[in-house]
Chains A and B, each alone.
Chain A
Amino acid sequence: RKGVFGRSAMAQPFVKKDDDHDDEMEYSPFMGIEKGAVLQEARVFNDAQVDPRRCSQVITKLLYLLNQGESFTKVEATEVFFSVTKLFQSKDTGLRRMVYLIIKELSPSSDEVIIVTSSLMKDMNSKIDMYRANAIRVLCRIIDGTLLTQIERYLKQAIVDKNPVVSSAALVSGLHLLRTNPEIVKRWSNEVQEGVQSRSALVQFHALALLHQIRQNDRLAVSKLVGSLTRGSVRSPLAQCLLIRYTSQVIRDMSNHGQSGERPFYEFLESCLRHKAEMVILEAARAITELDGVTSRELTPAITVLQLFLSSPKPVLRFAAVRTLNKVSMTHPMAVTNCNIDMESLISDQNRSIATLAITTLLKTGNESSVERLMKQITNFMSDIADEFKIVVVDAIRSLCVKFPLKYRSLMTFLSNILREEGGFEYKRAIVDSIVTIIRDIPDAKEGGLLHLCEFIEDCEFTYLSTQILHFLGIEGPKTSDPSKYIRYIYNRVHLENATVRAAAVSTLAKFGFMVDSLKPRITVLLKRCIYDSDDEVRDRATLFLSVLGGDGTLDADKDSKEFLFGSLEVPLANMETSLKNYDPSEEAFDINSVPKEVKSQPLAEKKAQGKKPTGLGAPPAAPASGFEGYERLLSSIPEFASFGKLFKSSSPVELTEAETEYAVNVVKHIFDNHVVFQYNCTNTIPEQLLERVNVIVDASEAEEFSEITSKALNSLPYDSPGQAFVAFEKPAGVPAVGKFSNTLTFVVKEVDPSTGEAEDDGVEDEYQLEDLEVVSADYILKVSVSNFRNAWESMNEEDEHVDEYGLGQRESLGEAIKAVIDLLGMQPCEGTETVPSNARSHTCLLSGVYIGNVKVLVRAQFGMDSSKEIAMKLAVRAEDVSVAEAIHEIVANG
């Protein structure tokens, strides 16, 4: 076959590609192609006598333009679309294929679709299978619900068509349509079920996927489906992979619902490890390693097949295996140690992704004695990989150091060596962060580590890193045995750097001067030199600190200076920034107390965390206003609540309905000094219903200190557009009252005609039981972080410290106990102390927060675990108000 462009016709003097020639000379049938000209050419579609070959060429050109990112205006697209529809009169199969393609690409609007509907429906019933399959795919891509009901009959037929291509086309279209027209596609269950039994591998795969999607909200049906298929024989490897995914989901659901004993379906997963298709083996191995609370006995067969994959000649297989083992090594390092020898040989793998994964796995599974050998291997490896891989390695080394503190010397040497080599910002930052972590965790490493950092800033091109290190030096340097040796490095910055770094250096000098009396006179001299700096910020700081250092030495002045130099800003910087931006310069001074103290949750991390678990299915619809500021604005706009004063805290939404119920409701608890407001976010998920006068009736008989004062109903709740109802309670001022509330949703239901969207006039009153809701102590504590826990801790009165010990009973792990305490208290974990090394038997967790009434409170919780997994906790609390420290203990004692 000759190409569409018949190369001979476009013969050019340099037909044969020649490397010596300019790239411009390279042959392309699309050279110099232009949208305007092609659109002109498209007029041939309108010719009375269709030339299939020519038309195919023009369509290819149009597709080429679209594929290269060119876009057509609405008018252009419409014009092309209309003329393309004329080509249905040609009987040329090749041209017809191109017509199908371009229609899909042009995605015509619903009023245009009507033009091709009849042509496509004719093709759908054509004798040519290829026409039928493609017409189904095109039609389903472009039609809306009303048209779909008209062709539904044909689609059902197509699903059970004996030609697998036609059947697959209908099934895949069903998968897409399920998102827009679920109620229609759900009616095809019988036909789809037949497809699952098909002898064609792909039909089976598509049918299984669709059947599961149709039934996904019916836990019992999915479990039955999985049960019957795991016993039968699914032919296609792809379908088998799907079945494994569904099985994992069923296992997860079962364990969520309290089934215990022998893990159901494990045997099936294990049998898939012996499947003949590698993709199935991989899928099964991965499913096993991801089982909740997987035991080492369950893991073993999966690890064994993955280990075999490690030495496969196929890079994809090696990658898949090492990637999976790497994940396992985070939770079950011991299970992976058997693979260490295979892993070590992968360090020299051509594929650097594989090598990096192998190294980081080894770093996690290696024991103390192998660290040095490993570091040697890595040193050679580091020189020829990209920064992004290096960062992964550096992060792994940091956790290794935390795990084996005795090995800090060789690890620190490694880090300081790579710090001196070339590298981009992110890489250098990762190294600096690691060194800082090691200095903080391992006191012996401090002096050496600080010197490494000093040397680094002597020749550091990143302002951000220089200022961070200078700040860190200011805090840690004065506490070392010989603080004076750092002064030279710091003062050098004042000479050699840009203004930002100079200003940071001035602040650091001042900290040394304040903390180390013997250095004070020398620092004063150095600072005096800085008051002639060319930058005003540097001059201002120098002048300010000179006056601080020259203070009269009384105790009060000292305390102020200390607070000034070392105290932390009590509000999160991001909130401070927003408040400053919103501040309108006027007579009224900016009030730092107006800045919200709640740490904003990081949406990115959150999104990532919830990405995979299927609980996201009925993900709560985004409320129109969320986040503290959003809530604050929303509540203050409602007159009933305007008098409640300043909002103290809003909880994250608590689900009051199970996922995938008719009405989805979650609640946000808003805490004021004297009041509590429940915001019920409601979503109506039934298209045929309109809800009116939606209200929540709250029974507060188990919440004695609360009395309902007002409620605000939601007038109308149409399908799929969330709305809010509110109920407000009064409670004793400043008291962290707790209690349990039961909720009933009441409303009037009106039937809606789905085709017109109009609701009937008469409605029926109905109610819907919601889950109970509790106000707990944690609702009265704000998560507020402190930048330096130790300074904050030491600045609080030691005599007011309250210490007590608690037995937490048997727990699965230390981490679990720590999480329980954090959740109970609702405080902010500091300095990453909420994470526990996997094999640790003791751990200290630092928490900070602000208690209602704006009282700062800090917690230092030490956990220990004995051989029978009994966990004990020593809880030390310091607060600005003694009664608050007592209250924290009370919460723990009652929790």
Chain B
Amino acid sequence: MELPPKVKNILLLDSEGKRIAAKYYSGDWPTNTAKEAFEKAVFSKTQKTNARTEVEVTALENNIIVYKFVQDLHFFVTGGEEENELVLASLLLFDAVNLLLRGNADKREALDNLDLIFLCFDEIIDGGIVLETDANVIAEKAGINSIDPNAPLSEQTISQALATAREHLTRSLMK
């Protein structure tokens, strides 16, 4: 029995149900065909609902699915029927994605910054286990690389530079 909350998948679909990004952590859907069928079922079941102001929820194939729509982006998190709905809802990515896309979250921005979306997925769940739930922290962690690689070190934020320096100091002291 898996006692820590387990996430079965997180999905980001567009307004036609097409996959923008998806990550599966359970073996319930072993093939891409099975995954696509699941996404289609989820999409058509939720399509007509209004999940724009509040996070919505439904049950499908013994799973609990929480979801929210932002512009033409449809966010979903799936867990087993024994899961706590509110825990699942805390893992919906829209806040973090919205932060990363500077408040312009839509399909086009998401595709343009797909690397950030993938990083976001990577920062929120690790192998089905909740890694981080705070949207600000996730956005910050996923966004670290948005420093222009060509910019010189001086353009790093001051706090970052300070943190690095402090780290450096403590390390040398500990030796």
Give the interface of A toward B (CB within 8 A). 1, 3-5, 7, 17, 23, 27-30, 52-53, 56, 59-60, 63-64, 67-69, 92-98, 101, 104, 127-130, 137, 141, 165, 168-169, 172-173, 175-176, 202, 205-206, 209, 212-213, 238, 241-242, 245-246, 249, 278-279, 282-283, 286, 313-317, 319-320, 323, 350-351, 353, 386, 612-614, 616-617
Q: A4 and B112: CB pair below 8 A?
A: yes
Quote the shortest CB–CB distance from B81 to chain A (angstroms): 9
Q: B111 and A28: CB pair below 8 A?
A: yes
Q: A319 and B85: CB pair below 8 A?
A: yes
Q: B3 and A27: CB pair below 8 A?
A: no
Q: B115 and A4: CB pair below 8 A?
A: yes
Q: In whole angstroms, what is the CA distance A577 to B22 when docked?
A: 43
B55, closest chain A residue (CB): A316
A208, closest chain B residue (CB): B4
Q: A315 and B164: CB pair below 8 A?
A: no
Asked whether B32 is an interface residue with its Cβ less than 8 Å from the other chain, the reply is yes
B16: A residues at CB distance < 8 A = 23
Given A17-B108, A68-B19, A279 contacting B87 (CB threshold 8 A): yes
Q: Give the most central of B36, B145, B146, B150: most A CB within 10 Å.
A: B145
Q: A60 and B115: CB pair below 8 A?
A: yes
A68: B residues at CB distance < 8 A = 19
Pick the residue among B3, B126, B171 that contacts A127 (CB under 8 A): B171
Asked whether B99 is an interface residue with its Cβ less than 8 Å from the other chain, the reply is no
Q: A279 and B132: CB pair below 8 A?
A: no
User: In chain B between 132 and 159, which residues have their CB closer than 8 angstroms to a CB of chain A?
Assistant: 132-133, 141, 144-150
Q: A5 and B112: CB pair below 8 A?
A: yes
Q: A614 and B132: CB pair below 8 A?
A: no
What are some 13 contacts across the A-B interface (CB < 8 A)? A4-B113, A4-B114, A7-B112, A23-B16, A29-B112, A56-B145, A69-B35, A127-B164, A129-B167, A173-B126, A202-B131, A314-B54, A353-B58
Q: A63 and B118: CB pair below 8 A?
A: yes
Q: B130 and A67: CB pair below 8 A?
A: no
Asked whether B7 is an interface residue with its Cβ less than 8 Å from the other chain, the reply is no
B57: A residues at CB distance < 8 A = 315-316, 319-320, 351, 353
Given A56-B115, A279-B84, A209 contacting B89 (CB threshold 8 A): no
Q: B87 and A241: CB pair below 8 A?
A: yes
Q: In whole angstroms, what is the CA distance A205 to B57 when docked?
A: 25
Asked whether B82 is an interface residue with its Cβ less than 8 Å from the other chain, the reply is yes
Quote the shortest CB–CB distance from B58 to chain A (angstroms): 5
Q: In whole angstroms, what is the CA distance A353 to B56 when docked?
A: 10
Main secondary structure of the interface of B (DSSP, over half): mixed
Given A67-B19, A94-B146, A94-B149, A350 contacting B115 (CB threshold 8 A): no
User: In chain B between 111 and 131, which residues have their CB closer than 8 angstroms to a CB of chain A?
Assistant: 111-115, 118-119, 122, 126-127, 129-131
Quote the shortest CB–CB distance from A279 to chain B (angstroms): 4
Given A95-B149, A205-B130, A351-B49, A130 contacting B86 (CB threshold 8 A): no
A202: B residues at CB distance < 8 A = 130-133
Q: A1 and B146: CB pair below 8 A?
A: yes
B119: A residues at CB distance < 8 A = 97, 101
A614: B residues at CB distance < 8 A = 1
Q: How many of B's residues come within 8 Å of A, CB to CB?
A: 58
B168: A residues at CB distance < 8 A = 127
Q: A97 and B144: CB pair below 8 A?
A: yes
Of all A-B residue pairs in the complex, the 10 with the closest CB atoms, nearest first, are: A94-B145, A3-B112, A69-B32, A279-B86, A209-B4, A320-B85, A92-B149, A60-B115, A52-B149, A319-B57
Q: Give the most central of A94, A238, A351: most B CB within 10 Å.
A: A94
Q: B66 and A316: CB pair below 8 A?
A: yes
Q: A67 and B66: CB pair below 8 A?
A: no
Q: Give the most central of B5, B19, B21, B168: most A CB within 10 Å.
A: B5
Pick the residue among A60, A95, A350 that contacts B49 (CB under 8 A): A350
Asked whether B161 is an interface residue with its Cβ less than 8 Å from the other chain, the reply is no
A93: B residues at CB distance < 8 A = 144-145, 147, 149
Quote the shortest CB–CB distance from B111 to chain A (angstroms): 5
Pick the residue among A169, A173, A315, A320 that contacts B56 (CB under 8 A): A315
Q: In whole angstroms, what is the CA distance A613 to B3 when docked?
A: 11
Q: A238 and B114: CB pair below 8 A?
A: no
B58: A residues at CB distance < 8 A = 351, 353
Q: In whole angstroms, what is the CA distance A350 to B1 when docked?
A: 35
Quote the shortest CB–CB distance from B98 to chain A (angstroms): 15
Pick the residue among B4, B84, B129 that contacts A282 (CB under 8 A): B84
Pick the residue among B4, B55, B108, B109 that contacts A315 (CB under 8 A): B55
A278: B residues at CB distance < 8 A = 86
A17, closest chain B residue (CB): B108
A10, closest chain B residue (CB): B112
Given contacts A92-B149, A238-B87, A282-B85, 16 further A-B contacts (CB under 8 A): A59-B115, A97-B119, A97-B144, A104-B122, A169-B126, A172-B131, A241-B87, A242-B4, A245-B3, A246-B3, A282-B84, A316-B89, A317-B85, A350-B50, A351-B57, A612-B82
Q: In whole angstroms, what is the CA distance A60 to B119 when docked?
A: 10
B163, closest chain A residue (CB): A129
Q: In whole angstroms, what is the CA distance A283 to B19 when docked?
A: 32
B141: A residues at CB distance < 8 A = 130, 165
Quote the shortest CB–CB distance from A275 to chain B (angstroms): 12
A101: B residues at CB distance < 8 A = 118-119, 122
Q: In whole angstroms, what is the CA distance A798 to B5 when docked?
A: 58
A210, closest chain B residue (CB): B4
B50: A residues at CB distance < 8 A = 350
User: In chain B between 49 and 71, which residues have their CB closer than 8 angstroms to a CB of chain A?
Assistant: 49-50, 54-59, 66
B36: A residues at CB distance < 8 A = 69
B112: A residues at CB distance < 8 A = 3-5, 7, 29
B133: A residues at CB distance < 8 A = 202, 238
A205: B residues at CB distance < 8 A = 130
Pick the residue among B35, B108, B132 that contacts A168 (CB under 8 A): B132
A286: B residues at CB distance < 8 A = 84
Q: In whole angstroms, what is the CA distance A748 to B157 when docked?
A: 67
Q: Give the most central of A60, A96, A313: most B CB within 10 Å.
A: A60
A283: B residues at CB distance < 8 A = 84
Q: In whole angstroms, what is the CA distance A29 to B58 when docked?
A: 33
Q: Give the most central of B56, B86, B112, B149: most A CB within 10 Å.
A: B86
Quote the shortest CB–CB distance from A719 to chain B (angstroms): 23
Q: B32 and A315: CB pair below 8 A?
A: no
Interface string of B91-120 (1 = CB under 8 A from A): 000000000000000001101111100110
B144, closest chain A residue (CB): A130
Quote the shortest CB–CB distance from B71 to chain A (angstroms): 11
Q: In whole angstroms, what is the CA distance A137 to B23 when docked?
A: 17
Q: A60 and B55: CB pair below 8 A?
A: no
Q: A172 and B164: CB pair below 8 A?
A: no
A57, closest chain B residue (CB): B115
Q: In whole angstroms, what is the CA distance A115 to B122 when docked?
A: 23
Q: In whole angstroms, what is the CA distance A875 to B29 when docked?
A: 49
A169: B residues at CB distance < 8 A = 126
A130: B residues at CB distance < 8 A = 141, 144
B145: A residues at CB distance < 8 A = 56, 92-98
Q: B1 and A617: CB pair below 8 A?
A: yes
